[in-house]
């Protein structure tokens, strides 16, 4: 009990130990010159937010650090670019109940919270109306009732925001209620916490997962890791402990210009993930969200990179290269074979 309380304090205090001022971040990283190309998005709904635990994985004095580029507000985001919109996946059109998105036949997604440990500048939900679309405790039953009536749905995805921002008590309430629905066989959690503040995978959470996986519901966790530098030894240790609970561990990454668009980085990412017990699942090209166009790259570059990945990696270490297209009934694989070499 004492251990559990202390580890919980540990992740929660790390969560509060967060930088949300651009000048402070750049001072810590000894990069004052970057103040010119960045901006302080204090007035919008997507301010800078990065825990020091994640900043510690960045290299001081490196303006191109791949972890820094994922969080640093860049002035290029302020220029409107044709085709980049606030709801690139048309999620508003698939929102039958507050806090629930139903786009695909066999699965639904619940935005259980709008809170995240970190704000990623490429996030496709950076303009999402979390205020009006996060189920409060009293709306949980409404969400459950909706799912109960969808006989084709056998999987529920907890998303957000980041579901691991919730307290264990609140998270367990969702997991227990969902596991009680007769047709649900899989619950999937999408989170960035395991690479941002790995201590979030505390003993109480791991014990709950172990117990849950012995029942008929299988748990899947998709960690959102874009670069091998995000998995230091401490992170790898926590992921390995998580894997021992029986949770299926997968990764999805976004292909980001300047961050992970080179072959050595992608190879190292897949290898590092595997060493930590995580299988590469998806590599997505960027969703065309307003404010993130500067991360985008030509599809042909993605295809060329993918061929190199297939040459360098065993098949099980090559994630699926895909794009999410609004209103399509599945994630659309990118046809890597049409342009041949």
* Chain residues in the site for ligand SF4 (CB under 6 A): 116, 118-120, 123, 125, 160-162, 192, 224
CA distances from 28 to 11, 25, 64, 132 (A): 21, 5, 15, 36
> From the CB of 341, what's the least distance to ligand SF4, in Å?
33
Q: Pick between residue 162 and residue 324 the one whose CB is nearest to ligand SF4.
A: 162
CA distances from 158 to 32, 114, 315 (A): 39, 12, 28
| SS3 category, 108 | strand
Q: Pick between residue 217 and residue 252 the one whose CB is nearest to ligand SF4.
A: 252
**CA separation for the pair 215, 157 (Å, rounded):** 18
> From the CB of 162, what's the least distance to ligand SF4, in Å?
5
Q: Pick between residue 107 and residue 190 the one whose CB is nearest to ligand SF4.
A: 190
> From the CB of 1, what's the least distance to ligand SF4, in Å?
30
* The residue count for the chain: 341
DSSP string, 28-75: HTT-GGGGGTB----SSS----EEHHHHTTSPTT-TT-HHHHHHS-BG
Q: Pick between residue 129 and residue 203 the one whose CB is nearest to ligand SF4.
A: 129
**CA separation for the pair 94, 158 (Å, rounded):** 16
Q: Pick between residue 159 and residue 270 the one whose CB is nearest to ligand SF4.
A: 159
Q: How many helices (H) and strands (E) does the chain have?
A: 11, 11
C-alpha dihedral (208, 213, 218, 220), degrees to nearest 10: 50
Q: Pick between residue 26 and residue 123 the one whose CB is nearest to ligand SF4.
A: 123
Distance of CA 126 to the CA centre of its chain: 12
> From the CB of 182, what's the least distance to ligand SF4, in Å?
30
Q: Pick between residue 222 and residue 303 the one whose CB is nearest to ligand SF4.
A: 222
| SS3 category, 219 | strand
> From the CB of 119, what's the least distance to ligand SF4, in Å?
5
**CA separation for the pair 71, 93 (Å, rounded):** 29
The position carrying tokens 């670019």 is: 81
Distance of CA 244 to the CA centre of its chain: 21
DSSP string, 109-124: EEE--S--SS--TT-T
Q: Pick between residue 222 and residue 336 the one whose CB is nearest to ligand SF4.
A: 222
């Amino acid at each position: 009990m004492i251990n559990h309380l202390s580890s919980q304090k540990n992740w929660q205090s790390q969560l509060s130990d967060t930088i949300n001022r651009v000048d402070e971040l750049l001072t810590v990283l000894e990069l004052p010159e970057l103040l010119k190309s960045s901006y302080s998005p204090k007035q919008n709904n997507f301010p800078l937010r990065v825990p020091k635990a994640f900043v510690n994985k960045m290299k001081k004095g490196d303006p191109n650090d791949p972890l820094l580029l994922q969080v640093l507000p860049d002035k290029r985001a302020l220029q409107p670019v044709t085709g980049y919109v606030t709801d690139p996946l048309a999620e508003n059109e698939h929102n039958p109940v507050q806090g629930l998105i139903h786009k695909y036949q066999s699965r639904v997604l619940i935005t259980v919270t709008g809170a995240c440990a970190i704000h990623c500048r490429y996030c496709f939900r950076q303009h999402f109306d979390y205020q009006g679309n996060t189920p409060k405790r009293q709306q949980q039953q409404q969400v459950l009732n909706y799912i109960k009536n969808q006989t084709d749905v056998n999987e529920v995805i907890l998303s957000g925001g980041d579901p691991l921002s919730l307290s264990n008590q609140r998270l367990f309430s969702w997991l227990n209620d969902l596991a009680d629905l007769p047709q649900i066989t899989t619950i999937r959690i999408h989170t960035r916490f395991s690479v941002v503040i790995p201590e979030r995978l505390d003993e109480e959470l791991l014990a709950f997962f172990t117990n849950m996986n012995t029942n008929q519901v299988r748990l899947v966790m998709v960690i959102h890791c874009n670069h091998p530098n995000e998995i230091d030894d401490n992170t790898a240790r926590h992921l390995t402990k998580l894997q021992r609970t029986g949770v299926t561990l997968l990764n999805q990454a976004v292909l980001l210009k300047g961050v992970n668009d080179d072959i050595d980085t992608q190879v190292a990412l897949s290898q590092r993930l595997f060493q930590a017990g995580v299988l590469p699942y998806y590599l997505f090209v960027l969703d065309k969200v307003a404010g993130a166009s500067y991360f985008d790259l030509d599809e042909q570059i993605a295809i060329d990179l993918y061929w190199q990945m297939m040459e360098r990696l065993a098949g099980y270490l090559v994630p699926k290269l895909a794009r999410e297209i609004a209103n399509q009934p599945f994630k659309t694989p990118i046809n890597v074979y049409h342009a041949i070499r």
